[in-house]
Structure 1
Amino acid sequence: KNVILGAGLVLALTGIMLSALWWWLVGRRERAVADQLRRLYLMVNQQKQIMDGVNSALSAGVVLNDLNGTIFYANQSFAHMVGMEANSMRGRPYTDLGTDIARSLVTHTLAVHQTGDLSSFTETLTVDGKPRYFFTSCTPFRDEAGRMSGVVSVYSDVTDLATAQQKAQQMVNQTVNAYVRAVEAVDSYLCGHSSLMAQLAVTLAYVLDKTDATTLATLRTAANLSQIGMIQLPRELLTKSGALTPEERTQLQKHVEYARRALEGIDFGLPVLEAISQMYEREDGSGYPAGLSGDAICENARILAVANTFCALVRSRSYRQALSVEQALEILSEQPPQYDMHVVAALRKFLASEQGAAFLAQLENSRHDNPEHEG
């Protein structure tokens, strides 16, 4: 009995010790897990505070909305844009944010949802009763499974930059107009030529599907400034009624170099100087000043060459009468080609249209504005 009683006591003590050890191990693991969770919470909370601070300090407006247009998050800058408190925006529909912002968010959501990728927009929104220009970058927001659940839009106010660019462009335009007036004062036969050439060159670019802003601005500016080198040529050379001698023609061709010198110090932010320097080059290498040919001539210069020659041929000069449209087109289409045939084809297509007929009427009117050049 004593042995059995002793064995029972030993077993009981062993069980108690094992149970205590088990509870201690479990408690230790739970304490470790709890400690990890606490550290994770502190880290997440700290990161949240940092992100909230960064977002609050950002001048750009940041907003997250779901695919139904409900606002999940907005920083202080975005809240200021819509005239609301950031904390009060969570859970509200975009329709509560005003017509401009609502339309903007709908556009962003549809675009990003369709592409599933980053999209950007340039838009004008009313802030504090005044129009402001924004560059907005939008990216999809995805859940844990990788499914798109919303859109993050970052609104960067570029009004000051846009205003500065507009002022700079106005200064460039004023400079261009001053140059054009100076050229027309030297040779009255060039009166209106630059503006007609610019109009035609831009139109040809549209026909050729070259509609990016850089190309259009380059063609317009280069056309308006293309004759600037004429100012430095002798007036008697520009107004000579007879054929030019080889020496006189060589002297006349120097206007390209004069134009390059006059314009090389101006930063247009566009390849204007290249276009002006190459617009008198020809496809077969017979042009000037460098004798370039084919693809060595930039595309802008090839468009300007056709526009310049056509406008010049159908208007009078001191040494000849105006040619008909068909005569001008025949010269442009001569073989071997001196002009880009794709551009010439675009010119034919344009002239056959209703808009082309209106342009020809404008050319005809410009002749009547200068009757001393006719007959």
Structure 2
Amino acid sequence: MSEHLIKTAEVPKPVGTTGQGARIGVVLAVVLLLSAGIVLLAAQAVRDRKAEVLEHQQKRFELLTQGRTEVIASWLENLSRQGDRLIKSDLFRLYAAEVDTYAGDLSNLFGTLHSNRATEDGDAATLTEQLPMMENTLREFSTYSGFLNARILSRQGEAYIATDGYLPPMNQEQIALASAAIKANGPQYSSVRKTAQGVEMDVFVPIYPPEAVGRTDGNSDRAAVGVLMMTRQVSGKITELLSNSPLAAAGEKTRLMQKSGSLFREIAPWTADGFTDVSFPVEIDETGHIPFGVRPSIANDDTKVYSLGVRIPGPAWWLVQEISYDAAMRPIVEYERTVYIVAGLGILTALLIAGLAWWILTGVQSQRVAKQFRALATQIEEQKLFIDSVNANIEEFIVLKDLNGKFTYVNEAFAAAAGRPREELLGMDTAAVFGFDTAKRLESIDEMVLGEKRKMTVNEPIFIRSRRHLFQVAKSPYLCADGSCQGIVEVYRDMTEFVAVQEKNKRLVRNAMEALGSTIKAADPYLGGHTKLLAGLAVEVAKAMHLSALEVAEIETAANLSQIGKMFVPNEILTKPGKLTPEEKGVMEKHVEYAYRILKDIDIDESVLMAIYQMNERLDGSGYPKKLKDGEILMLARILAVLNVFCAMIRPRSYRGAEEPAQALNILSGDVGKFDPEVVAALADVIHTPTGEKLLADKE
């Protein structure tokens, strides 16, 4: 809503020349005072704007860092919980408890397997005989869970089981963290370090004796009897966690800082060293955080930034959100320029008003000014009627509520939907219109809007006249000039038809995919069965490799469409027994281009299209159509490359029989230069799962 405030001055009666000169002097003095006041107000406005922008920037940083800190804390907690499958096993609990009660030297204990001490110490012999089985179990857990290695430590910090076949010495930090895990009855995390494999860190989780089984808090009345130490390569995960958010503004960076002794270092897995030393003193407040303020960038690149750091629970890490000083000050500089331009125009306007006042004092333009005021009043009234007309024709529901939740204003659209006159709705509350349950959900948002004085948007299903609608509800605090909150402005946008159209479009896309699959199968029954098996195995392999839900959906779509280009290859080449001639091979390889031409104009994701286009490439550059190598090939295409060849080998063709899955895997494993070994390993795991076995059983 816009308002125009017009102030009129009383026109004095005509006076003599002497009185007129005095009044002109007064007018000039007033103009000078107004000009000085305008300049002071402009300077104050710039200061207020700067404070407002920086306060907004600080709140943004607090929200961004809070969200990312929660994600990192959740990731760290998940790392420690991955050891639950092992340390909650009665076998490991009992073994660790027995080792803990052993009074002798652990190095002698586990040397009895190769000496005559086994006959001298029965307990030691029993523990030593179980050692190979425990090592194998620990190794299987480490491989399955994605850790580089793992160890089992005694309460004194001595390692007696390791996945890497030997027990290398631990540094002082690792020994201290193992002890801290036992004392704190909870997981501990080491500082990250740079190795040849990338950036690594250790996770220490206490192991409790069998009596601890059944506790819901993970602790025990008895002390822990050992520690599980797990080493994880975290380069990729940290890089992913620090990648720019869509909410990040220009010039913003998210960085991770670690304290090593008395020094602070930025964790930068993408660099050669993996770390960057922080060259300036770091200010840590009493809460353990880095307050918002101006300081050098922790990247040590001589950049001046506004930054804020949040201490991450667990390791000695701080998540630091930065924005360059120039980027932060840009809106303030632009605002300052605009304010002083407006101030200049204001001073000029004051001079013009002074001239107009002098003219009015002479009495020459008094009648014309009065006429102009009447015309302005008419214009204002017309504008008010226009705004009322626009408001009456808005389809969205607009509501104003007071602090007690009572309606003080509703527009015509809201009244029509509620089926009541506007006057009747005034003074009612949300429960009277939408029902108690819906009102309770909406009013819980009201408390946050009023308490935090910020806008919030939610999607809510709401029944109106027994019909379900899906509304996008935007709630904003209604503030007075002094900043006090007088109520809430709500805008309801009906998203029901929009959501229905989206669902319909999804169904149409799925139907189109199924139709294309049927077309492929009609062109060549071998390709149809091949495509079905390829899609099923590709989804399972993608899940086994921990790809995101979006990537799993993309690879399924790509697999279903991967053979469409072969419909345009002559059938005598597709089904020819024996080796193809170079000319026939060239014709066959054109199926990739055919598929690209068909699919590029269809509304599918670019990653799906490129996965289909690259699935015949090989890591050593021997594939087609572009002879791409290793890092140039997308992960989705690498998965399809392995699965496409595997499915082709285990299914019969008109010119040959089928290979056994194990034999096909051996062939793929042997071509280490062509196929991604990580994908081949994941496929080997998948075909031994119930789902993989069912897919292979149904491959015909």
The question of a shared fold, defined as TM-score above 0.5 by the shorter chain, is answered with yes
Matched, 1:78 2:414: yes
Q: Does 2:657 align with 1:360?
A: no
CA shift, 1:155, in A, is: 3.0
**In structure 2, what is the equivalent of residue 94 of structure 1?**
430
Structure-2 residue corresponding to 1:232: 568
RMSD: 4.5
1:288 Cα deviation after fit? 1.7
Task: Encode CA deviations 1:12-48: one digit per residue, 9 max, x unaligned.
Answer: xxxxxxxxxxxxxxxxxxxxxxxxxxxxxx9999988
- Structure 2 residue corresponding to 1:179, chosen from 508, 516, 520: 516
Paired residue type of 2:592:
V
Matches within 5 A, 1:1-375: 53-64=389-400, 71=407, 73-98=409-434, 101-102=438-439, 105-106=442-443, 108-109=445-446, 119-121=456-458, 124-134=461-471, 136=472, 138-141=474-477, 143-144=479-480, 152-202=489-539, 208-212=546-550, 218-264=554-600, 266-271=601-606, 272-318=608-654, 319-324=656-661, 327-328=664-665, 331=668, 335-336=672-673, 338-339=675-676, 341=678, 351=686, 357-367=689-699, 370=700
* One-letter amino acid of the counterpart of residue 291, structure 1: K
Task: Tell me the distance in 2 between the aligned counterparts of 1:115 and 1:199.
Answer: 49
Counterpart Cα distance in 1 of 2:674 and 2:422: 66
More helix by share: 1
* Structure 2 segments unaligned to the other structure (5+ residues): 1-377
**Aligned residues of 2:641 and 2:675 also touching (Cα < 8 A):** no
Decide whether the 8 Å contact of 2:453 with 2:477 is kept in 1: no
Contact 1:112–1:138 at 8 Å: present in 2 too?
A: no
Contact 1:302 1:340 (C-alpha < 8 Å) held by counterparts? no
Change (3 A) 1:131 1:300: farther
Amino acid at match of 1:286: S
Q: SS state of the match for residue 156, structure 1? A: strand
* Cα pair distance change 1:149/1:315, threshold 3 Å: farther
- Partner SS for 1:260: helix
Give the Cα–Cα distance (whole angstroms) in 1 for the partners of residues 664 and 521 of structure 2: 26
CA–CA distance in 1 between the matches of 2:599 and 2:661?
A: 34
What runs of 5+ residues in structure 1 fail to find an aligned partner? 1-41, 371-375
Residue type at the aligned position of 1:290: K
Q: Is the 8 A contact 2:621 2:627 kept in 1?
A: yes
The residue matched to 2:658 in structure 1 has which SS?
coil
Q: Which residue identity is paired with 2:515?
A: A
Count of paired positions: 319
Measured after TM superposition, the shift of residue 175 of structure 1 is: 3.3
Deviation at 1:330, TM superposition (A): 7.3
Q: Partner letter of residue 222 of structure 1?
A: A
> What secondary structure does 2:521 align onto?
helix
Residues 310 and 115 from structure 1, CA distance in 2 versus in 1: closer, same or farther, beyond 3 angstroms? farther
Equivalent-residue separation in structure 1 for 2:622 and 2:565 (angstroms):
20
Amino acid at match of 1:289: P
Q: Structure 2 counterpart of 1:257, which letter? A: E
Distance change >3 Å, CA 299–CA 51, structure 1 → 2: farther
Kept after mapping to 1: 8 A contact 2:449/2:477: no
Deviations 1:277-332 (A, max 9, x none): 22323344333211233454445434544554554455444545244268538726
State, as a whole percentage, how many aligned pairs show the same letter: 35
Pairwise CA distance, 1:125? 4.3
- Contact 2:461 2:469 survives alignment (8 Å): yes
Q: Deviations over 1:207-243 (max 9, x none)?
A: 635234xx56544433222211111122233334444
Give the Cα–Cα distance (whole angstroms) in 1 for the partners of residues 523 and 417 of structure 2.
54
Cα contact 1:314–1:328 (8 A) shared by 2: no
Structure-2 separation of matches of 1:148 and 1:326 = 74
Between the aligned partners of 2:682 and 2:452, the Cα distance in structure 1 is: 34
Q: Distance in 2 between matches of 1:284 and 1:107?
A: 59
Segment of structure 1 superposing worse, 226-235 or 74-83 = 74-83
CA distance in structure 1 between the partners assigned to 2:401 and 2:671 by the alignment:
61
Q: Distance in 1 between matches of 2:635 and 2:647?
A: 19
State the SS of the aligned residue for 2:477: strand
TM-aligned CA distance change 1:153 to 1:277, over 3 Å: farther
* Secondary structure at the counterpart of residue 191 of structure 1: helix
* Contact 2:403–2:487 under 8 Å retained in 1: yes
Alpha-carbon distance in structure 2 between the residues aligned to 1:332 and 1:151: 65
- 1:321 counterpart SS class: coil
Deviation larger for 52-61 or 69-78: 69-78
> Secondary structure, in 3 states, of the residue corresponding to 2:625?
coil
d(CA) in 2 for partners of 1:332 and 1:106?
60
What is the alpha-carbon distance in structure 2 between the residues aligned to residue 116 and residue 330 of structure 1? Answer: 65
Native 8 Å contact 2:434 2:464 kept in 1: no
Q: Which has the higher contact order (CA 8 A, sep 6+)?
A: 1
Distance 1:221 1:269 in 2: 9
